[in-house]
Amino acid sequence: MKKILNVGSLNIDYVYQVPHFVQPGETLSSTGYARHPGGKGLNQSIALARAGAVVHHVGHVGADGAWLVDFLKSEGAGTSHLTEVDGPTGHAIIQVNAEGQNCILIEGGANRSVTVADAAKAVEALGFVAGDYMLLQNETSAVRELIALGAERGLKVVFNPAPMDKSIREIDLRAVEVLVVNEVEAAELVGAASYDDYEALLAMLKQSFPTTSVLLTLGSRGSVYSGVDGIHHFEPAQKVVAVDTTAAGDTFIGYFLAKLAAGATIPEAMQLATRASAICVSKAGAAPSIPMLRDVQS
């Protein structure tokens, strides 16, 4: 089994249940509140660990985020290269409406102080070799340098460029092994006017990044993978009632990559990831909603 180095964000999620998303000028009372461990990086490490992968997390927290490190460690993720720094831990304000959709405001906090040296030190100390994986999101600093480091060391870089912003256009995505995007992110990345036609989006992505495999998530329509061995489209096996979609994409990525690292085929990895994300959206919360492997298999 290949090892996975996740250089990713760690956030404290403040989740508010609301009848609808707050509108400009509106004051709205929430119908529920909870605090959860979160951040795309942390969520993906939890999904990887619960899926049985060997994952080590590199990242920064403030003193207020020490409990996030304890949580990751209790789940089986490697935490020896998580560093406490001055200042607040990253956090997110999450609104979840009556339909289970979410609206998220992120403050980067300590995630903005991650450096390429943090990752380089972990690669050496933990014995990562060519063919192992490096997983990245767009919630930390130094993303461009981290992608370059992974490519230089022969690691397979899997990049989830969320949240999308203009900095992504400054990154050489040809160094990425697998690019994971949803429809909206894909359209923004290639400058498409619409995200309704996923086949057109895939064609535009492959034209822009011909050596990069693309995993495009399509929400309730499933997912599609375009790589050197062709295109694989996997639709959900069953419909579920969405309670909270916050960690659906992170769950999908974690389970997909865990299966790949264990030597599975692309369709096998997509099937497991699809089932895991379906379970995830049926529960409230981000990290707490990510299922265990035994529950996905059953």
Catalytic residue numbers, as ranges:
250
Spatial distance between the Cα atoms of 45 and 78, rounded to a whole number of angstroms: 9
**189 domain-assigned:** yes
Residue 88's SS3 state is coil
Residue range of the domain that includes 147? 3-9+40-85+109-297
Q: Give a yes or no: residue 100 inside a domain.
A: no
Q: Do 113 and 85 touch, CB atoms closer than 8 A?
A: yes
CATH of the domain at 258: 3.40.1190.20
What is the predicted pLDDT for the residue at 238? 65
Residue 235 counted as domain residue: yes
Does residue 19 form part of some domain? no
- Residue 295 confidence (pLDDT): 92
Burial of 90 (0-12, 13-18, 19+ CB in 10 A): buried
pLDDT in tens, the chain (298 residues): 999 999 999 999 898 999 999 999 999 999 999 998 999 999 999 999 999 999 999 999 999 999 999 999 999 999 999 999 999 999 999 899 998 888 989 899 999 999 999 999 999 999 999 999 999 999 999 999 999 999 999 999 999 999 999 899 889 899 999 999 999 999 999 888 778 888 999 999 999 999 999 999 988 788 999 998 889 998 875 677 777 777 899 999 999 999 999 999 999 999 999 999 989 888 877 788 899 999 999 8
Please name which of 253, 251, 242, 209 lies closest in space to residue 227, comparing C-alpha atoms.
209
217: left (phi over 0), alpha (psi -120 to 50) or beta: beta
Structurally, the chain folds into a number of domains equal to 1
Assess contact for 53 and 4: CB atoms under 8 A: yes
Q: Quick one: pLDDT at residue 281?
A: 84
Q: Are 144 and 171 in contact (CB under 8 A)?
A: yes
If one counts every other C-beta atom within 10 angstroms of the C-beta of residue 169, the result is: 11
Across 58-84, b (16+ Cβ under 10 Å) vs e yields bbbbbeebeebbebbeebbbbbebbee
Q: Judge whether 48 lies within some domain.
A: yes
State phi, psi for 153 to the nearest 5 degrees.
-85, 0
In a domain, 93, yes or no: no
pLDDT at 282: 81
**DSSP label of 191:** T
pTM: 0.92
Q: Does any domain span residue 117?
A: yes
Distance, in Å, from the CA atom of 34 to the CA atom of 243, rounded to the nearest integer, reads 14
Strands (E), 120-241: 133-137, 156-160, 178-182, 213-217, 223-227, 230-234
Domain annotation covers residue 32: no
- For residue 290, give the amino acid letter: I
Measured from the Cβ of residue 237, the count of other Cβ atoms closer than 10 Å reads 10
* pLDDT at position 169: 85
* pLDDT value of residue 166: 87
Please give the distance of CA 72 from its chain centroid, rounded to a whole number.
15
What is the pLDDT, as a whole number, of residue 228?
83
* DSSP 8-state secondary structure symbol assigned to residue 23: P
